[in-house]
Amino acid sequence: MLSIKDSLKTGALAGVLWGWLCYLANYFSGIFPFESSFTQNLLSFTFGGAVFGIVTAGLLAVLGGFLPFRRMVFKAVFISVTLWLALKFAGDILSIMEPERFHMVMPQAVQGILLALALGAILGLLLGRGRQAAAGNA
């Protein structure tokens, strides 16, 4: 069993990896033409990814025991996709309230939910490995 501190550290690592994956996925899909420089994006995707990874790992540590899945990877995917859907839902409400400020773009939304799946998979695999290592050391 990992402590919440270790879970958050693993979440930060998974989030950074996921941030870079987001950059690469969009680079190859071309769904959103990048507007910032590579250096700025490297920093922003690293930072943004880490924040999302830590929050997902924290929610997983708090709520994971209540989820009806045995494998860590399924729990992590469930949490990350639910989190993304909640943010998207709130964003869509903002878009309805302020249509000139917030635009909904379907291809970006599809890419986003696929990336949320990826965050859950990366986090679940890393946490699963961490748990195995902790059990091995016990």
Partner 1 sequence: MERILERGGMDALVPAVVLVALAFAMVVIAFGMESVAPGVHDALHDFRHVIGMPCH
Pair 83, 120: CB distance under 8 Å = no
Q: Considering the rule CB under 8 A, would residue 81 count as an interface residue with partner 1?
A: no
Q: How far is the C-alpha of 88 from the C-alpha of 86, rounded, in Å?
A: 5
Q: Considering the rule CB under 8 A, would residue 55 count as an interface residue with partner 1?
A: yes
Q: Considering the rule CB under 8 A, would residue 77 count as an interface residue with partner 1?
A: no
Pair 14, 58: CB distance under 8 Å = no
Q: Which of 63, 69, 71, 105 binds partner 1 (CB under 8 A)?
A: 105
Q: Which of 47, 71, 133, 134 binds partner 1 (CB under 8 A)?
A: 47
Q: Considering the rule CB under 8 A, would residue 10 count as an interface residue with partner 1?
A: no
Pair 25, 117: CB distance under 8 Å = no
CA Rg, the chain, in Å? 16
Q: Considering the rule CB under 8 A, would residue 95 count as an interface residue with partner 1?
A: yes
Pair 37, 89: CB distance under 8 Å = no
Is residue 27 within a helix (H) or strand (E), and if so which, with residue range?
Answer: helix 4-29
CB of 36 to partner 1, least distance (A): 5
Residues that bind partner 1 (CB under 8 A): 4-5, 8, 19, 22-23, 25-26, 31-32, 34-36, 40-41, 44-45, 47-49, 51-52, 54-55, 58, 62, 84, 87-88, 90-92, 94-95, 100-105, 108-113, 115-116
